[in-house]
Structure 1
Amino acid sequence: MRHLQTLRLIEAVARAGSIRKAAEDMAITSSALNRRITGFEEEFGYPIFERLPRGVRLNPAGELLVQHIRAQISDLARVQSQVADLSGARRGHVSIACSQALLPYFLPEQIAVYRRAHPGVSFSVRVRDRVAAEHDLSEFRSDLALVFEPVYLADFEVLFAMRQPVFAVFAEDHPLAAKEGELRLRDCLAWPQAMPTHPYGVRHLLEMAVRGRSLSIDPTVESESFEFLRHYVRHEQAVAFQIPIGLKSLTGGGVTAREVSVRDVPAGHLLLGQMRGRSLPVASARFANQLAGAMAEMGGATGEPADASAGIGSTGIGSTGMSATGMSAKGIGAAPLARGG
């Protein structure tokens, strides 16, 4: 496995952009790490790093190599998990990149449920916006992503899709709480606005909703933290916005929430996905299947749970296509996702 360790060291240097920093992360001296890289480059026949005044950077050959390394490490982890599964050990590790809305309730509950059946499986959860989550998948830093309104979908293989309307969040004694009839966006924007920052899907839907209309997004307070925004509205008659999966209860704690009319803000979609074409480790494939089932039970789904076995030793749980009229999750019985909600 010495050769594999060298590949891991190269990947660590590529990630850190510095031999010194990677050496600290990998518990090896800088000089020893530099010798390992130099020796590999000689054996490989090509340099893979550009030496810069302050660190190193992959050259084109190095970028190709590191993508191969990450795929090899991922594939070995999948084989190891399959062998452990054969022995009945049921061990493994699941890494997830997710939107903030999944943190308070949904993911903690689902991880706990899974670990009750498979206590040998560990998890890492990385909070990522809708662009960074896709990047994590392509860099093999995460096995799965749960992201609201992803941007590119080039390397994102949709395993399950779930409709999520936008809700306005405000204090229980806010005048909007007692307003009769449907809640319109203009009603919400008439009050101080507590907005998520631009990278987030909710903000994107709101920006699209006001385009070409006599409405504007003019935040009184802006934050990357949905928890901060949700708690802030308790102290001022402001309005925040969130998707329902991040709102365990629509009332309680001095805060309530109401759906904004889809005539004004079309519902978005929460997507469970993996890197296109990747074979997931056993634990990750099974957890993806559990997540899809849980999302289906919550309602608002546009697909059916996929069979976890499809992600074991194959190209994934499902496959997806993109058309001009919307997304479809082929292989999981999904209808196209209607942008109008």
Structure 2
Amino acid sequence: MRHLRFLHYFDAVARAGSIRKAAERLNVTSSAVNRRIMDLEAELETPLFERRPRGVRLTAAGELFIHHVRQQTADLDRVRSQIEDLKGMRRGTVRISVSQALALDFLPREVAAYRARFPFVNFDVRVQDHIKAMQSLADYEVDLVMVFRPPFLPNFRPLMTLEQRLVAVMPTDHPLAKRPSIRLRDCASFPVALAEPEIGGRQLLDEALARRKLRFNIVAQANSFEFLRHLVMRDNVISFQIGIGATSDEARGIVVREIDERDAPRADLVLGQLYDRNLPVASAKFAEQLTQSLLAMRGEAMRATA
């Protein structure tokens, strides 16, 4: 499979936007990478990159070819995984991108449970906002995504959805902590700490505030839910996220309260893949596990409201 190395060189240059940077990452010489790119261009009889003073950029033909390369690489990973599965070794790599809300508890718990069954499987996890996660899926960089309010992608195939409510995270001694649910107008009088605007839960909150013509006193904004949670523990602020990523921890001074649905409607957390992808065995089995976990959570939610 020597030719695959040349395709790997091409993919590396496309990602780096520079032959020199790609060569450094591949630990080979720039001349070797450039020679392989030129060989590909000669074989295809068309330029794949536009050479610029500060790097390279894919041509229209290059865009078509990179899609083919990444699809072929993904298919090869799937075949390798199936071969290992036939051996009974259950090896492989699960590549998944998830929303931040899943990174602190839900996904680590699921990964640990999966590896208890298949200890030779490893994971490549990306914690990204919903837009970047879907782009990673479209670029064949991951096999699965699990994100809140995913943007439209033509060949996206949802495998499972779970409705989520927006919740407020606050100190146990906060004036609003004794209420079973919270109205957004009640939070307007207090300092709040929010996730960055690219996060799906923040966008849901912003939409709700706009409808209610409310404005918050935002004292901190961050791209880390872990930072926001620790800030709640140390300062008298309220933060917001979706329910799956927020748990009360009264021992550490944190409580979680649901936002009244009159202010912020539910929205979907979605597990999915591309329609044209046959998943590697390891990823397909992990998707099955996640689906069962989400089904169980859906059942618990239905019983709680019955």
Quote the Cα distance in structure 1 between the aligned partners of 2:85 and 2:154: 32
Quote the residue 1:73 is aligned against: 73
| Structure 1: unaligned runs, 5 residues or longer | 303-341
Aligned partner letter, 2:267:
G
Greater RCO (CA < 8 Å, at least 6 residues apart): 2
Quote the Cα distance in structure 2 between the aligned partners of 1:131 and 1:31: 36
Quote the residue 2:183 is aligned against: 184
More helix per residue: 1 or 2?
Answer: 2
Quote the residue 2:27 is aligned against: 27
Quote the Cα distance in structure 1 between the aligned partners of 2:89 and 2:256: 44
Quote the residue 1:289 is aligned against: 288
CA 1:277–1:140: 2 relative to 1, 3 Å = same
How far 1:189 moved relative to its partner? 2.4
Quote the residue 2:304 is aligned against: none
Q: What do the CA deviations read for 1:45-103 (whole angstroms, capped 9, x no partner)? A: 11100001011110000000000000001011111111111111211101111111111
Matches within 5 A, 1:46-65: 46-65=46-65
How far 1:28 moved relative to its partner? 1.2
1:211 match: secondary structure: helix
How far 1:276 moved relative to its partner? 2.7
1:298 matched to 2:302: no
2:234 match: secondary structure: coil
Quote the residue 2:41 is aligned against: 41
Scaled by the length of structure 2, what TM-score is found?
0.94
Quote the residue 1:239 is aligned against: 238
How far 1:6 moved relative to its partner? 0.7
Q: What do the CA deviations read for 1:237-282 (whole angstroms, capped 9, x no partner)? A: 2110022211244543111110010111111211111123211111
Aligned alpha-carbon RMSD (Å):
1.6
Scaled by the length of structure 1, what TM-score is found?
0.85
Quote the Cα distance in structure 2 between the aligned partners of 1:139 and 1:214: 39
Matches within 5 A, 1:100-179: 100-179=100-179
Question: Does 210-219 or 195-204 show the bigger shift?
Answer: 210-219
Q: Indicate conservation of the 8 Å contact 2:187/2:216, yes or no.
A: no
Quote the Cα distance in structure 2 between the aligned partners of 1:251 and 1:99: 25
Quote the Cα distance in structure 2 between the aligned partners of 1:102 and 1:7: 34
Aligned partner letter, 1:98:
V
1:221 match: secondary structure: strand
Aligned partner letter, 2:18:
S
Identity of counterpart residues, as a percentage?
48
| Structure 2: unaligned runs, 5 residues or longer | 302-306
Q: What do the CA deviations read for 1:262-315 (whole angstroms, capped 9, x no partner)? A: 11111121111112321111110110010111111122799xxxxxxxxxxxxx
CA 1:77–1:214: 2 relative to 1, 3 Å = closer
Quote the residue 2:91 is aligned against: 91
Q: Indicate conservation of the 8 Å contact 1:105/1:248, yes or no.
A: no
